[in-house]
Amino acid sequence: MSNALFEKVLASPSLPSLPAVAVEVLRVTRDPQAKLIDIARIVQNDPGLSAKILKTVNSSLYGLKERCTRIDRALGFMGMNAVKSIVLGISLVDGTKGVKSEAGFDANQFWKKTIYGAAAARHLAQITASCDPDEAFTAGLFQDIGILASVIALRDEYIKVFNAASDPALLADTETEQLGFDHTQVGGELSSRWSLPGQYIDCIRHHHSAHAYNGAYADMVRIVTLGGFLADSCGGHLASKQLSRFRLSADKWFPGLLDNPEALLNATIAAAKELAKLFEKSVGAAPDTEAIMAEFQERSFEHQMAMQQEADKLRQSNEALAAENYTDPLTRIGNRRKFDTETAQAITAADEASPRGELSLLFVDADRFKSVNDTYGHPAGDAVLIELARRISTEVGQAGLACRFGGEEFAVLLRGCDGTAAAMMGERVRACVAATPFDTSHVQGAPAELKVTISVGVATRQFAGQGPLAGASIESLLKAADEAVYAAKQGGRNCVRVAGADRRAPAADAVAASVVAPATPGRVVRVMVVEDDPLAAALLRACLQRQPGIEVVIVESSDEALNRITQDSAAKRAPHIVLCDQHTDGMPGHEFVRNLRNNPAASSIPVIITTAKATNEITRLATEAGARAVVSKSELARDLSRWVVRIITEAATPSATRAAA
């Protein structure tokens, strides 16, 4: 049916045809050796055509200072392409005079748009210098010849379809959907039969598909298409929408063309008015360009808002996709790619910082994880991994980045973190995992709870010139952390090892890993930490309080500590043991011990002195003052588990109990 209708249009005896003079002009202009005098002879034989050419050359389109009265001179002013355009345009208009307005089809409106489109194409070709303005003008006149042919051949059947298109840009799609062909196909076939130049034929065939056209006449096809958009912008309820469509296409094809859209509209309107006189057609009152521009500006704002919203949605979508690419699908924390990327960036940032910064890595490996999978199945193993990831990431919090490295291995990146703080963080993570059995009651075939422990390796990348990992590469840092995990495994598991530190004997690790409760069930052991470094104090509190029955009090200065112990002793709330920084605010640590020993109510409270570096002199002073031990912070961090045990044990000795009871 589609082919039959198409053939019916092309076979209609009422279709327009080119007059003999137009055919002859086309024949002559195809000859590259042709001269204007050859065309003048043809035109002079048609008085009506000669009169219209003279009328054209004397219009404002050419701006002659003196009136031209001779056809040969007129042709000289106009040039061969302009003459050809005028002859073809006049022939088109004269050949379709029989198409009148009827129900559903406004012939005057059709010619108004055609003239506006041709005028716009000519003006756009001039300002872009992309193609010959007269050729663009002619192609603009002929671009919708298929509509006229379809109206003539199918009448009401086509007019109904024509009016069904609510938007001129949708006309070709509507025609194809309901008829099986569109007016560009009809116009293209007619123009081929008339032997019009190839550039005209391509403009007729592709003015609704210019974005996909890549032929030899791409610039002219685009200019004619833009001319049609601009013509639609000069009137109608969709004027601002068509101007927006013009803007989008123009920005892509001819950037900067729409810098002054109002000037383009005014120039098109003025040129169309002159052309209407030539073709003896009425284009009605001039459009209200101010109203069109006001609506266009509003639509442009709405468009920008819509584009911004679309850009935001795209950005969010890309961020979500990127996040998914960096997220472990099982545990929902960062994956190996995330860890590698962040670590590389952290090392670069540390090297570029002034002074150069430190960073540390924790490697965490679940102890005897294979036995969980082998005994209870992979669902139980997955549940353990999910809970392990939750505990690690929760414990690390904002201090670092926790990622699943692979299998049952996890890695933590700690930016700007030295070895002491990193080791203490490792102990916090270890204690957090070991403190409470994992709930596996929801896993079929698994026990209600599983006791899970981890081995932790710590590696710190110092700034250049300090330590074995000074300025280390990512690979070296990873290897060091991995070796530290292996040392923890060899040391009995459920412990923390620091890369480069001496390995502990398994027996010592077993003691360090065990959690001893206070000597008397239900009794609370009070530990006072005198430390002005908030991070060190927080880490000590977290590690100590993971043991049952431990109560920790943080005091920032040794002077305040003495006052508080005196008050608490009177209230029977004195600490059972004190950890005091040698260089905290107030008096030095050894002086604090000496003053404490002179206080009868607190003289038996054991004190452990912590210091950045346990020199012989500090050890001597602290020991003479009565300190129970002196420990460097690096040693404390390397083997915090063992020191927690010792602190609790020291606090539970009889002398301490008697002094603080």
In 171-217, alpha helices (H): 171-179, 183-193, 198-206
Angle at 131 between CA 129 and CA 134, to 5 degrees: 105
Q: What pLDDT score does 107 carry?
A: 84
> CATH assignment of 1-11+98-325?
1.10.3210.10
Could you write out the DSSP letters of every residue in 360-392? EEEEEEETTHHHHHHHH-HHHHHHHHHHHHHHH
Six token digits for residue 313: 């949605």
Rounded average pLDDT over 513-536: 66
Q: In 3-state terms, what secondary structure has residue 327?
A: strand
Cα-to-chain-centroid distance, residue 474: 28
Q: What's the whole-number mean pLDDT along residues 472-477? A: 86
| Band of residue 371 on the pLDDT scale cut at 50, 70, 90 | very high
Whether a cis peptide bond, with omega within 30° of 0, leads into 468 is no
* C-alpha to C-alpha distances, 559 to 556, 580, 582, 583, nearest whole angstrom: 9, 11, 13, 12
Rounded CA-CA distance 147/145 in Å is: 5
Band the pLDDT of 357: cuts 50, 70, 90.
confident
Residues 6+ apart with CB under 8 A from 335: 326, 327, 328, 403, 404
Let me know how many helices (H) and strands (E) the chain has, helices first. Answer: 30, 12
Evaluate whether 79 touches 134 at the Cβ level (below 8 Å): yes
pLDDT of residue 658: 34
Least trusted range by pLDDT, from 238-242, 442-446, 492-496: 238-242
Q: What is the dihedral sign for C-alpha 105, 106, 112, 115?
A: positive
DSSP 557: B
Q: Which has more confidence, 436 or 543?
A: 436
pTM (global) more than 0.85: no
CB atoms within 10 A of CB 516: 15
446/518: higher pLDDT: 446
Query: Is the pLDDT assigned to residue 553 strictly greater than 90?
Result: yes
Burial 371-400 (b: 16+ CB within 10 A, else e): ebeeebeeebbebbbbbbbebbbebbeebb
Highest mean pLDDT of the ranges 151-160, 236-245, 261-270: 151-160
Looking only at the bridges linking them, the beta strands covering 496-498 and 454-461 are parallel
Can you tell me which residue has the tokens 């495994």? 489
- Mean pLDDT computed over 464-484: 80
The domain locations on the chain are: 1-11+98-325, 17-95, 336-513, 525-660
Q: Which residues contact 71 (CB under 8 A, 6 or more apart)?
A: 40, 43, 44, 50, 53, 54
Helical (H) or strand (E) element with 411: strand 409-415
* Residues in CB range of 156: below 8 A, 6 or more apart: 103, 104
pLDDT at 219: 95
DSSP assigned state of 301? H
Give pLDDT tens digits for 494-516: 999 998 764 443 333 333 333 33
Average model confidence (pLDDT) across the chain: 83
The Cβ of residue 216 has, within 10 Å, a number of other Cβ atoms equal to 10
pLDDT at 238: 67
- The mean pLDDT value for 516-520 works out to 37
pLDDT class of 520 with cuts at 50, 70, 90: very low
Taking phi over 0 as left and psi of -120 to 50 as alpha, with beta for the rest, 450 belongs to beta
Q: Kindly state the tokens that stand for 59.
A: 């219009």
Residue 645's pLDDT band (cuts 50, 70, 90): low
Asked whether residue 303 carries a pLDDT value surpassing 80, the answer given is no
Sign of CA dihedral 109, 115, 119, 121: positive
Per-residue tokens: 509: 């690790």
Q: Over range 81-87, report the average pLDDT.
A: 80
- Give me the pLDDT at residue 232, please: 83
- The string of pLDDT tens digits covering residues 132-188 is 998 998 899 899 999 988 998 888 899 999 988 878 888 999 999 999 999 999 999
Q: Cα 74–80–83 angle (5° rounding)?
A: 60
Going by the DSSP 8-state scheme, the letter that residue 334 receives in this structure is B
Q: What is the mean pLDDT of the segment spanning 285-305?
A: 64
Q: Fill in the amino acid letter for 563.
A: N
Q: Which two tokens stand for residue 633?
A: 């912070």
- Cβ neighbors of 222 (< 8 A, separation 6 or more) are 130, 210, 249, 253, 254
DSSP assignment string, 498-546: ETTSPPPPHHHHHHHHS-PPPSSTTPPEEEEEE-S-HHHHHHHHHHHHT
Task: Please check the confidence at residue 517 and state whether its pLDDT lies above 50.
Answer: no
Percent of the chain residues past pLDDT 70, beyond the cut: 87
**3 state DSSP class of 423:** helix
CATH code of domain 336-513: 3.30.70.270
Written in H, E and C, the secondary structure of 396-437 is HHHHCEEEEEECCEEEEEEECCCHHHHHHHHHHHHHHHHHCC
pLDDT in tens, 242-258: 777 888 888 889 887 76
Average pLDDT over residues 397-409: 93
Max CA-CA distance within the chain?
A: 135
Cα distance between residue 184 and residue 131, in whole Å = 21
Quote the tokens at residue 38: 């050859």
CA distance 207 to 182: 12
Report the pLDDT value the prediction gives residue 503, as an integer from 0 to 100. Answer: 41
Higher per-residue pLDDT: 590 or 474: 590
Distance of alpha carbon 54 from alpha carbon 68, whole angstroms: 7
Does the pLDDT of residue 545 top 80, yes or no? no
pLDDT band for 652, please (50, 70, 90 cuts): low
Neighbours of 109 (CB within 10 A): 14
Identity of the amino acid at 188: G
What string of DSSP letters covers 73-127? Answer: HHHHHH-HHHHHHHHHHHHHHHHTTT---BTTB-HHHHHHHHHHHHHHHHHHHHH
pLDDT range class, residue 298, cuts 50, 70, 90: low
Say if residues 221 and 206 touch (Cβ distance below 8 Å): yes
Range of weakest confidence among 281-290, 413-422, 523-532, 538-547: 281-290
Task: For residue 477, count other CB atoms closer than 10 A to its CB.
Answer: 20
User: Residue 361: is its pLDDT beyond 70?
Assistant: yes
Candidate from 5-19, 194-208, 510-524 with smallest mean pLDDT = 510-524
Question: In this predicted structure, what is the pLDDT of residue 649?
Answer: 64
**What whole-number distance in Å separates Cα of residue 213 and Cα of residue 206?**
7
pLDDT band at 464, cuts 50/70/90? low
Q: Rounded CA gap, 66 and 651, in Å?
A: 117
- DSSP codes of every residue in 208-243: TSGGG--STTHHHHHHHHHHHHHHHTTSSTTHHHHH
pLDDT in the model for residue 299: 60
Specify the CATH number for 525-660; select among 3.20.20.140, 3.90.660.10, 3.20.20.370, 3.40.50.2300: 3.40.50.2300
- DSSP-based three-state secondary structure for 572: coil
Q: Which of 287-296, 342-351, 391-400 has the lowest mean pLDDT?
A: 287-296
Kindly report, residue by residue over 320-347, the tens digit of the pLDDT.
777 788 999 999 999 999 999 999 999 8
**Residue reference for tokens 């298109």:** 165
Report pLDDT for 518.
39
Task: Indicate the pairing of strand 409-415 with strand 359-366.
Answer: antiparallel
The whole-angstrom separation of Cα 21 and Cα 94 is 12
Compute φ and ψ for 629, nearest 5 degrees: -165, 160
Q: Is the pLDDT of residue 451 over 60?
A: yes
Residues 158, 84: Cα–Cα separation, whole Å: 32
